[in-house]
Chains A and B, each alone.
Chain A
Amino acid sequence: MISLESKTLPVNVNIHLLPTSKFKTTLVSVFLQQALAKELAAKTALLPAVLKRGTRQYPTFRDLKVRLEELYGAALSADVVKKGERQLVSFSLEIINDKFTPGEKLLQQGLSILKDVITDPLLENGGFRQDYVQQEKEQLTKEIRGLVNDKVSYALERCIQEMCSQERFGVYKYGSVEELQPVSTGELYTYYQNILQENPLDVFVVGEIDPENTFALIQDTFSFSRAGNLVELPPVEVENIPAEVSYQEEKLPINQGKLTLGYRTNISYQDEAYPALLFYNAVLGGFPHSKLFQNVREKASLAYYVFSRLEKHKGIQLIGSGIEVSDYEQALEIILQQVEEIKKGQISKEEMKNTKRALLNGLKIVGDSPYSLVGFYMDGLIGKRTEETEHLMQRIAEVKEEDIVAVAHRVYLDTIYFLRSTNGDERKQE
């Protein structure tokens, strides 16, 4: 795998370089960390939206886009990412490698735009531009309300919201419309200045780069002043044994029911049992050969999609499926049965072997995409377990059947969320 070369700048910015010649582009990713919290989430989410509207040098959206187009359509993005109980403001620039355009110094030019977006926004009266903030509040409101449009992700997100309504993890990555509305232009800029100075900031560069030059280039880019002592962000709360299973139902005018189950695994990313948890999740529903797909789809023909997935930082496992509303009982029974099977140690040698190979395969290809490389290492930083994929692969290879069974006994069903049609059980055909 491509190894990380890290360094902390005097201004308290961590730089991580991943030199490799296999890609046609260079990717620069910047993450500014903030705690995920109900009262902050919408405000934090508004920041990248406003920042990408314009800079002092490129004051309009169009000016900025034209400049990026000149640089061979460099992709500049700014958004928020939720990782456990952290909300990350992320900026990234992906630009084609200089070898395709000799003499143009594309990376340097691109970095200067990225720098402007992060540190030199368009200001008026000592704050962000009023109209940009207003427009972005409207756009973000639409984005938050738009969650419902994709029913597959809506069902998963709603399950999390119900399950973690009393925890920070229950906050949607873009926050809520209620918290967004009162955010004022003046307050927003002060808030940005604070977190830009005091919150953890990590920069990744992936591509055909010379480490020494690149360190210098990044150092030059992030030359603004930062606090000597950064804020300490609260750790993620993982342990939780629910007293009982909560059942939540929601009705919408839709065709297909979405059955979602939320589990507490009580295992964090740092936990020694994490590789066994990965394994457990994969045996249950990570792949087409897994128990859920084989039994719910292949044997019972109840679903087109059914899977389980982990939120590795929070230690939550979600099972998602799309079924006929009238098949609810049968589908639920089969799903719960699969979980029980693992608890009882009903895992064949073949399942062990296939799952191991599939998991290792997944880790080996992390290095084949600049974005997944950055994602993998950033997860390591957030989860305070920076290791190379090879090390994690080693740990996965050592997982035994009894480790998986042990994990199964630490996992508790917390919430069943069922999204169903407004028309009851009748089939609505068009």
Chain B
Amino acid sequence: MHLQVKQNASLKEKIFHAALKGGPDLYILPRQGYNKKYAIFSTRFGSIDNAFRFVDNEQEEEVVLPDGVAHFLEHKLFDEEDGNVFDRFAYYGASPNAFTSFTHTTYLFSCTDFFPENFKLLLDFVQAPYFTEESVAKEQGIIQQEIRMYQDNPNWRVFFGILEALYTRHPVRNDIAGTAESISKITKELLYKCYYTFYHPRNMAIFVTGDLEPEAVCGLVEENIAGRSFPPFHATQRLYPREGAAVHQKKVTRELSVSQPLLNLGFKDTYADLQGRELFVRELTTELLLEMIFGKGGPFFTSLYEEGLIDEHFDFGFTGECSYGYTLLGGRTKHPEKLHARLLAAIKKIKKEGLGTDSFARYKRKMRGQLLRSFNSLEFIANNYLAYRFRQIDFFEILDLLEEIKIEDLEKRLYEHLREDLHAVSIVYPVRQD
């Protein structure tokens, strides 16, 4: 057992890490006084990984998947030969779940009692696929209803509208669950193929938090993997189509049953293949920049609000993954065209007048406080830790990195990223009443 411990003074947290021989990376964050225990088991396989090739076998043809396979697999991994692992978690009073993002799939449970039993269930079911033709067929109906539920969700639709506008080929523009048509092509064989490609311990990581002894948790994982033999790991090269710097479409619009329009404005980032600290700094710099321009204490929010162009739910943020990145801002509005123009004008004005330095320290304080607040949530910590870990980022460095960022970094980012020629909009209008 080789548990390494890292203290973080800014967060007042202590995290344990074990690199288990042949097993997944394991992270444990003890939290005294919490009744809840929360564990996640994640793999670097998300909706965008829909074309790949094995690195050590160049002869083999590249594999191209129908959209929605990672998500479909997530649903089906809960199946067991004699039923569904949900029932066994229920026996121990746990609440299991899973989610699929663009870049990874995560299985999880939370419980208060029977932690060792529940944890073992999690480790076991994620490492034991059982797919049949019947069960694959049965899941089609359920996932179709999931897709249709999202089709009626205006926030989801305006979000995918902007991704479709920004990207020409990158699979981030496709719905995570796929379409009714694409999922009809999913077979049991395809699921097994993806499972054995991406669910290798070398491609996975575990995060556990709660009032727990790190050694004991580590012991449970060691015991669990001791009896398993893993095939050699075949690294995959994920094949993302070449995506140009330019946006695909200036504007994407849809009509939905909504009370007022929704606007998303997006800026496409101009790099690729960034990871680690560099990517993290870029993210934090961009978040600070956006906060300084569009935050509630910033120069524009109050007037846009008073004019009724935005409401309190107006939101903004930056997403930076290894193969894509974008800034999004927007929300519900009575005049999407007007708001679009005003947001661009705000950026222009800031470029002309400069960011100013007065408020910079204040925004850093704000980000610091917000982060500490989020650290009350075990789910927040665990989910973020692994999501960043998969980008070679140590999430716990966040407060220390934040201090290193200078106003000049923001100025630079303002000019290189918030460029009018690299922006697009997505609008959802109310359905016209004929």
Contact = CB atoms under 8 A, between A and B. Distances in A.
Contact of B92 (A142, A254, A357, A367): A357
Interface of B: 12, 31-36, 84, 86-87, 90-96, 110-113, 138-143, 145-146, 148-149, 151-154, 180, 256-260, 295-298, 301-302, 305-306, 308, 311-312, 332, 334, 359, 362-363, 365-370, 372-373, 375-378, 431
Contacts of A358: 90, 93, 95
A173 to B, nearest CB: 16
A350 B89 CA distance: 12
A253 interface: yes
A14 interface: no
A73 B94 contact: no
B149 A322 contact: yes
A142 B313 CA distance: 12
Given A61-B302, A301-B140, A322-B148, 5 more contacts: A23-B376, A148-B258, A303-B142, A322-B149, A353-B91
A195 interface: no
Interface string A341-371: 0000000001001100110110011011110
Interface string A283-314: 00001110000000110011111000000000
A100 interface: yes
B363 to A, nearest CB: 7
B406 to A, nearest CB: 19
Interface stretch (A64-72, A160-168, A397-405): A64-72
A69 B306 contact: no
Interface string A393-412: 00000000000000000000
Interface stretch (A83-91, A149-157, A235-243, A269-277): A149-157
A24 B95 CA distance: 25
Contacts of B372: 24-25, 72, 96, 100
B283 to A, nearest CB: 18
B260 A145 contact: yes
A322 B87 CA distance: 23
Interface string A72-104: 111100000000000000000011100110000
24 contacts: A24-B12, A61-B296, A70-B362, A72-B365, A72-B372, A73-B366, A96-B372, A99-B12, A135-B308, A142-B259, A142-B260, A151-B152, A255-B148, A256-B148, A289-B86, A289-B90, A301-B142, A304-B149, A322-B145, A357-B93, A358-B93, A360-B112, A361-B94, A368-B378
A148 B431 CA distance: 13
Given A255-B152, A361-B112, A138 B297 contact: no
Q: Which 8 A-B pairs have the closest CB atoms?
A: A72-B369, A357-B93, A301-B141, A73-B366, A22-B33, A289-B90, A65-B297, A304-B146
A324 interface: yes
Contacts of B376: 23-25, 369-370
A361 to B, nearest CB: 4
Contact of A73 (B34, B110, B152, B365): B365
Interface of A: 20-25, 60-62, 65-66, 68-75, 94-96, 99-100, 131, 135, 138-139, 142-143, 145-152, 252-256, 287-289, 297-298, 301-305, 322-324, 350, 353-354, 357-358, 360-361, 364-365, 367-370, 429-430
Contacts of A364: 35-36, 112-113
A211 B325 CA distance: 48
Given A22-B34, A361-B111, A302 B145 contact: yes
Nearest to B362: A69
B302 A62 contact: yes
Nearest to B87: A289
Contacts of A95: 369
